[in-house]
């Protein structure tokens, strides 16, 4: 089967994720993809006249294993997203049926060559959503910072009033990190809600990079110019953070890495914003 994009309502995505995580999402989207334009999977007779229906039917028509089907399809049945009739035909809820209950905003999920690949692609939906939210916030904060410049040298009375309003609400200094960032703990939280687990987050970041679903770039903040010997002394006698390193003649502190996620429709990496030093 060629790589295919399945779109499901964003609220349904959230509901399925809460019940069974990325793997349940992968199963539901796979069943929708392999079903094609038909309303259901139809039971049939094999060459030896054996009836093939229900779970065996899904196994024969998709790239899902029987064990995966037996584990996850009952969850979809309980959610009203799948049903099996007395003849063994299997129905999968379509978007036309679901749109009356869920919102019309659809999120794309690329069907992978296997079940695990598809489950990774479902994570990308949340990565892309987080990236877009951060980019919107960057734009908003950058606009506010630009307005502050009008406070001391306003071009118009309106510009001054806008700058004064920003100061009153947000203060006289607005910090803007001009790139999308996520810590290792953030990757763990995004994957399954795990809190403050840097090791687990580092694992998932590594796997997502291996799958080509994200790209990351390390960021450093210069502390001072120093020789390597001075750096070693700094590490011994100074109460410096653990993320302190030595790089190209400078003592630096490593910041949270920036990342860019893949666009599941085009398959291309979302372009990165400028990275601060």
Q: Strand 82-84 and strand 90-92: pairing?
A: antiparallel
* pLDDT computed for residue 22 by the predictor: 96
Q: What are the tokens at 118?
A: 């598809």
Distance, in Å, from the CA atom of 120 to the CA atom of 265, rounded to the nearest integer, reads 15
Q: Summarize pLDDT for 58-76 with one digit per residue, the tens.
A: 999 999 999 999 999 999 9
More confidently predicted of 103 and 145: 145
Say yes or no to pLDDT of 199 above 50: yes
Backbone angles phi, psi at 162, to 5 degrees: -65, -40
Query: Domains of the chain: which residue ranges?
Result: 4-113, 124-261
Say yes or no to pLDDT of 47 above 80: yes
> Of 140-144, 175-179, 209-213, where does the model show the most confidence?
209-213
Close Cβ partners of 241 (under 8 Å, ≥ 6 residues apart): 253
Distance, in Å, from the CA atom of 124 to the CA atom of 137, rounded to the nearest integer, reads 20
Say yes or no to pLDDT of 143 above 90: no
* pLDDT computed for residue 53 by the predictor: 93
Say yes or no to pLDDT of 41 above 90: yes
Tell me if 163 sits within 8 A of 257, measured CB to CB. Answer: no
Q: How confident is the model at residue 6 (pLDDT cuts 50, 70, 90)?
A: very high
Distance, in Å, from the CA atom of 2 to the CA atom of 22, rounded to the nearest integer, reads 21
Q: CATH says 4-113 is which class?
A: mainly alpha
Backbone angles phi, psi at 108, to 5 degrees: -90, 140
């Amino acid at each position: 089967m060629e790589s295919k994009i399945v779109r499901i309502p964003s609220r349904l995505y959230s509901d399925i994720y809460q019940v069974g995580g990325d793997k349940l999402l992968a199963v539901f989207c796979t069943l929708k993809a392999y079903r094609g334009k038909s309303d259901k999977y139809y039971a049939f007779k094999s060459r030896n006249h054996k009836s093939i229906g229900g779970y065996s039917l899904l196994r024969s028509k998709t790239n899902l294993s029987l064990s995966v089907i037996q584990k996850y399809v009952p969850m979809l049945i309980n959610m009203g997203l799948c049903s099996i009739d007395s003849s063994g035909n299997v129905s999968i809820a379509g978007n036309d049926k679901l749109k009356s209950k869920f919102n019309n905003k659809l999120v794309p999920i690329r069907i992978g060559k296997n079940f695990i690949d598809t489950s990774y692609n479902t994570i990308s939906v949340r990565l892309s959503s987080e990236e877009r939210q951060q980019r919107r916030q960057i734009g908003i904060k950058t606009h506010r910072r630009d307005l502050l410049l009008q406070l001391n040298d306003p071009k118009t009375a309106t510009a001054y009033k806008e700058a004064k309003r920003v100061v009153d609400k947000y203060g006289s200094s607005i910090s803007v990190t001009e790139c999308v960032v996520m810590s290792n703990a953030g990757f763990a939280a995004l994957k399954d809600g795990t809190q403050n687990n840097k090791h687990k987050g580092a694992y998932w970041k590594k796997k997502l990079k291996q799958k080509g679903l994200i790209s990351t770039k390390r960021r450093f903040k210069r502390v001072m110019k120093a020789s390597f010997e001075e750096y070693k002394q700094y590490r011994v006698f100074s109460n410096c953070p653990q993320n302190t390193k030595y790089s190209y003649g400078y003592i630096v502190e490593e910041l949270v890495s920036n990342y860019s996620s893949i666009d599941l429709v085009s398959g291309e990496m979302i372009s990165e914003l400028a990275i601060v030093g």
